Structure 1
Amino acid sequence: MSQSSYTPPKVWSAPGEEGGGKFGSINRPEAGARFEKQLPVGEHPLQLYSLATPNGVKATIMLEELLEAGHKSAEYDAHLIDIMEGDQFGSDFVDINPNSKIPALLDRSGDKPQRVFESGAILLYLAEKFNAFLPQNPAERTECLNWLFWQMGSAPFLGGGFGHFYAYAPEPLEYPINRYAMEVKRQLDVLDKQLANNSYIAGDEYTIADMAIWPWYGALVEGKVYDAAEFLQVQDYKHLARWTETIAKRPAVIRGKMVNRTWGDKSEQLHERHNASDFDNKTQDKLES
Structure 2
Amino acid sequence: MGFGVFIHRTDSIYDDSPAEQYQFPSQYLSRAQTFVGDWIIYYEPRKVEATRGYFAIAKVERIIPDPSAAGMYLALIEPSSYLDFATPVPFNDAGGVIERGVLNEQGRISGRAQSAVRPVSPTDFERIVALGLDESVQILPRIGDISATPQFDEVQAPFVFEETRDRLNYLTSRIVRNRAFRRVILDAYDRRCSVTGLKLINGGGRAEVDAAHIKPVEANGPDIINNGIALSGTAHWMFDRGLISLSDELEILISRHVNDFESVRALVNKNGHALPPQRTSQRPHPHFLGWHRDNCFKQ
Q: Same fold (TM over 0.5)?
A: no
- Please identify which structure carries the higher strand content: 2
Into which bin does the TM-score normalised by the smaller protein fall? under 0.3
Larger Rg: 2
Q: Please give the TM-score of this superposition, normalised by the length of structure 1.
A: 0.22
- Please identify which structure carries the higher helix content: 1
Larger RCO, structures 1/2 (Cα 8 Å, 6+ apart): 1
Q: Please give the TM-score of this superposition, normalised by the length of structure 2.
A: 0.22
